[in-house]
């Protein structure tokens, strides 16, 4: 049986127009007028926008540390993704220090297998560089993992030195893969933390003082210099500062291939949250930290001017009770990260499109089309076109609601957006032609998400 979606307005990265969509099996097979035939299942999208399913290029589900793991695993995380109009996530599988990339991948396969409600892929985070890891990059590519991540911070756990970054970038260029970078200077951060603690500064409000703007700017400048020497493209995750973005713009003018991701928290939440009473500021401890209004405005400008390519979430949730509280006497022990996969698109609509900062096509570009292109999922994902996967979200942007910890799908005991109004109520989500979410409910209890082997990296201008 075919599905026909009738009466909606299709929105892509470039267009906005009224038409029906016909889906056969997993694919879109026709777009046009009056597509209904006898026996079709009809879904009405009257008065609604139909967007391509969101692609969140940055989640951490079931990320484990020595004694604890993130609050959301692949089950709750991918349910929350669907509830927020995201049909594909790319999570960070991680190599533990001293282990191989294949061991890291096996671990992430175990964590995710049979648990995902939306489609998914992995980037592979590299924590050790050596000849055998260099060889394993090719194994990863053969297994559908065509992007990697390197941290310039989190010393002794994940941080990589400049020499190894250079070698990794040379190898990425050789194989045509992309490395994403967490740009903060980990050595400087550790010294600033020591300095703060030696002065008795141990509450959450000191977290941002140990990760100032310069720490991000310096790491970005250094990375771009190394990338130019290696002649390799790079992707910068969770950019939080205007100064960092200005370094990217300078490098692009020199001809560098750099992609930039930011996140809703760096556009909507400012650093006044660290002044909250008692331990409340711990809810906003993440890296990089929240910034002041000047930076928020500078990033919105960057979105409008195509200086920022994608909006991911960096969803990395820890419960306030029991997990964030690990740092009750010492901010540097608070697990870093916040939830967000469920609210990415509605937040961007409410605080970006509705306020006139960006238009709806730009929203689609940032949250679906560009991540799909950059990470080798396009045109299967990230578009509404004949031949693309039937990943569609029917949104009623006239409806609004308020975010609360109680009404979220995230499996975490707080939300950094408590009390924030959002516009956009999802009527239906289709994943490869299957209706998987309708009016506030996951349909059935079947995990329909599939691992998507990514083959080729496109870049934002690609049409492959």
Identify what 22 binds: ligand URP, Zn ion, none; CB under 5 to 8 Å per kind.
none
The distance of closest approach from Cβ of residue 339 to ligand URP in the complex, given in angstroms and rounded to an integer, is: 11
Residue 387 pairs in a beta bridge with none
Q: Please choose, out of 7-15, 109-117, 308-316, 429-437, the segment that lies near Zn ion by the rule CB under 5 A.
A: 308-316
Residue 234 CB partners (closer than 8 Å, separation 6+): 169, 178, 179, 180, 181, 223, 224, 227, 256, 257, 258, 259
Q: Output 21 or 236, the one with its CB closest to Zn ion.
A: 236
Look at residue 355 and give its three-state secondary structure: coil
Q: Please choose, out of 43-51, 179-187, 227-235, 350-358, the segment that lies near Zn ion by the rule CB under 5 A.
A: 179-187
Residue 163 CB partners (closer than 8 Å, separation 6+): none
Q: Is 149 in the site for Zn ion (CB under 5 A)?
A: no
Residue 394 CB partners (closer than 8 Å, separation 6+): 5, 8, 43, 45, 48, 49, 50, 426, 427, 428, 429
Q: Is 62 in the site for ligand URP (CB under 6 A)?
A: no
Q: Is 72 in the site for Zn ion (CB under 5 A)?
A: no
Q: Is 283 in the site for ligand URP (CB under 6 A)?
A: no
Rounded Cα distance, 375 and 356, in Å: 28
Residue 232 pairs in a beta bridge with none
Rounded Cα distance, 457 and 464, in Å: 9
Q: Output 6 or 123, the one with its CB closest to Zn ion.
A: 123
Candidate residues 337, 339, 371, 449; the one interacting with ligand URP per rule CB under 6 A: 337
Candidate residues 4, 48, 93, 286; the one interacting with ligand URP per rule CB under 6 A: 286
Among the listed residues 228, 224, 220, the one whose alpha carbon sits nearest the alpha carbon of residue 244: 220
Q: Output 265 or 427, the one with its CB closest to Zn ion.
A: 265
Q: Output 211 or 432, the one with its CB closest to ligand URP.
A: 211
CB atoms within 10 A of CB 55: 30
Candidate residues 9, 23, 51, 60; the one interacting with ligand URP per rule CB under 6 A: 60
Counting every residue written for the chain, the total comes to: 464
Residue 379: cis peptide before it, omega within 30 degrees of 0: yes
- What 8-state DSSP symbol labels residue 72? -
Identify the sign of the CA torsion 200, 205, 211, 213: negative
The distance of closest approach from Cβ of residue 286 to ligand URP in the complex, given in angstroms and rounded to an integer, is: 4
What does the per-residue mask of binding to ligand URP show for 147-186, with x meaning CB under 6 A? -----------------------------------x----
Candidate residues 287, 310, 368, 388; the one interacting with ligand URP per rule CB under 6 A: 287
Identify what 216 binds: Zn ion, ligand URP, none; CB under 5 to 8 Å per kind.
none
The distance of closest approach from Cβ of residue 460 to Zn ion in the complex, given in angstroms and rounded to an integer, is: 21
The distance of closest approach from Cβ of residue 277 to Zn ion in the complex, given in angstroms and rounded to an integer, is: 28
Q: Is the separation of the CB atoms in 237 and 265 below 8 Å?
A: no
The distance of closest approach from Cβ of residue 158 to Zn ion in the complex, given in angstroms and rounded to an integer, is: 9
Residues that bind Zn ion (CB under 5 A): 182, 314
Residues that bind ligand URP (CB under 6 A): 60, 182, 286-287, 314, 316, 336-337
């Amino acid at each position: 049986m075919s599905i026909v979606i009738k009466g909606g307005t299709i929105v892509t990265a470039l267009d906005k127009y009224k038409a029906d969509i016909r889906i056969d099996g997993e694919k879109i097979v026709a777009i046009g007028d009056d597509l209904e035939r006898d026996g079709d299942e009809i879904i009405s999208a009257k008065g609604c926008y139909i967007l391509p399913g969101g692609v969140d290029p940055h989640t951490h589900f079931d990320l484990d540390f020595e004694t604890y793991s993130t609050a959301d695993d692949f089950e709750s995380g991918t349910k929350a993704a669907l509830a927020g109009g995201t049909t594909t996530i790319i999570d960070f599988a991680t190599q533990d220090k001293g282990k191989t990339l294949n061991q890291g991948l096996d671990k992430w396969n175990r964590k995710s297998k049979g648990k995902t409600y939306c489609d998914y892929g992995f980037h592979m985070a590299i924590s050790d560089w050596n000849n055998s890891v260099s060889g394993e990059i090719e194994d990863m590519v053969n297994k559908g993992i065509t992007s990697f991540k390197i941290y310039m911070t989190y010393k002794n756990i994940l941080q990589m030195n400049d020499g190894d970054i250079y070698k990794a970038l040379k190898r990425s260029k050789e194989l045509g893969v992309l490395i994403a970078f967490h740009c903060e200077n980990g050595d400087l951060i550790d010294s600033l933390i020591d300095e703060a603690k030696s002065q008795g500064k141990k509450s959450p409000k000191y977290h941002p003082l140990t990760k100032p703007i310069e720490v991000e700017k310096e790491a970005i400048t250094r990375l771009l210099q190394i990338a130019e020497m290696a002649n390799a493209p790079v992707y910068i995750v969770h950019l939080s500062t205007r100064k960092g973005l200005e370094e990217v713009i300078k490098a692009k003018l020199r001809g560098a291939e750099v992609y930039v991701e930011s996140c809703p928290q760096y556009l909507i939440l400012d650093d006044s949250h660290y002044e909250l009473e008692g331990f409340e500021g711990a809810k906003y401890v993440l890296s990089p930290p929240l910034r002041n209004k000047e930076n928020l405005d500078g990033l919105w400008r960057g979105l409008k001017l195509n200086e920022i390519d994608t909006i991911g979430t960096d969803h990395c949730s820890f419960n306030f009770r029991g997990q964030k509280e690990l740092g009750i006497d010492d901010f540097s022990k608070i697990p870093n990260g916040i939830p967000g996969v469920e609210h990415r698109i509605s937040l961007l609509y409410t605080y970006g499109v509705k306020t006139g900062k960006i238009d709806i096509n730009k929203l689609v570009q940032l949250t679906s089309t560009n991540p799909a292109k950059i990470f080798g999922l396009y045109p299967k994902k990230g578009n509404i076109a004949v031949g693309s996967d039937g990943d569609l979200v029917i949104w009623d942007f006239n409806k609004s609601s308020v975010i609360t910890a109680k009404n979220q799908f995230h499996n975490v005991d707080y939300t950094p957006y408590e009390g924030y109004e959002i516009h956009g109520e999802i009527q239906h989500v289709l994943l490869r032609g299957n209706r998987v979410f309708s009016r506030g409910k996951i349909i059935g209890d079947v995990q329909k998400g599939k691992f998507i082997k990514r083959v080729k990296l496109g870049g934002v201008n690609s049409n492959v």
